[in-house]
Amino acid sequence: MIDVDQDQEHGPDEDQLDALDATDFDAFIVEEAAKRPRQPVKLYGKTYVLPDSLPVMFTLLMTRVEDSQDPEDVARLLALLFGGDVLDSWAEKGMTDRQLGILLIFSAANTRMPGSVTLARAAELYEEQEAGKAAVPNRATRRATGKKKRSGGRS
């Protein structure tokens, strides 16, 4: 191991850097990706192949647009997994919001671990998720209903 002295203002000494072999992370990524299985998905007559892992941008966008109603946010997420402008194409073919939700659950799970979730299981998970949303009223609904007042004062 070579000890690299760093000068606070100038960084490592150039002679020391020349003595180190650069680690090629780009080559590592390509090599590792080739070993990982990828899940194909057939949709509207076209076969898409999910990425070998979830892109960081997908994860970042999911947290940023979690409560967004903007179709452009959904389109950007789908482009990261399926490429291109698929949302408009699928919408024109009649895709429903339920089908889109199932596809997103299926795709996220099977990008992480291909074959881990069937479409039927993704549909069950979607239904559970939707039931959970319905069970908890949103803030505006809670405020509109107000708190019930007790009759008769304190006991």
Burial 65-104 (b: 16+ CB within 10 A, else e): eeeeeeeebbeebbebbbeeebbeebeeeebeeeebbbbb
**Type and span of the H or E element at 49:** strand 46-49
Tell me the one-letter amino acid at 7.
D
For 122-146, the pLDDT digits (tens) are: 999 999 999 887 655 555 555 555 5
Q: What is the pLDDT of residues 4-14, one digit of tens each?
A: 455 556 666 66
